[in-house]
Amino acid sequence: MLPLHHPVAVAEQTATLDIISGGKFLFGLGQGYRDQEFQSFGVRKRDRRRRMAEVIRRLRSEENVDFEGEFVKLEGVAIAPKPIQQPGPPIFVGADLLETVVRVPEVGDHWIASRRHTKSFLREAVPIYKKALDRHGKEDKGLFLFRDLCVAKAPGKRKSGSRKPTRRCTRCTRGGVNLENDTTCALMT
């Protein structure tokens, strides 16, 4: 929920996590979608994408950032500590709609496909994403998929241990998707 947080705090927190992880931190972010979350922070939901893209990259890569944008004004800001990875940890962006998939390269380095995405959606979205990467001069480093997984020692436990994630996946796809014929939310058996 990046649009609900100040970019200087986010840049410093991600740098700290990168140091703690020894330069292995991956920065996953999303623009949010629940109205009540935006209302509780006093942020207009329609401004979320512009708030995300405004200044994070500059804070990670420049020493003294002067910036006056629509939502943030900074004068001579330098984040501390600096991340190990330069210019900073890779940014993974969650995007659920075709119109947001095409904008991932504006903000991030990689797209994370949701557990809600069907095979047919991915067949349509992946070429759109690749074209967007080309337009922004970014390398295609593959597709990252967010999935639920249940691992159990005993075969009989697999099914019972997978019920909760399966229910969550079903709730996420309740918009008429046939889970048996057209989904990447599959159970391990």
- Distance (Å, whole) CA 56 – CA 47: 16
Residue 144 has pLDDT above 80, yes or no: yes
pLDDT tens-digit readout, 9-44 = 888 999 999 999 999 999 988 777 777 877 787 777
Parallel, antiparallel or unpaired: strands 73-77 and 65-68: antiparallel
Domain boundaries, the chain: 1-85
- Distance (Å, whole) CA 119 – CA 140: 20
Tell me which of 26-30, 51-55, 175-179 is least confident.
175-179
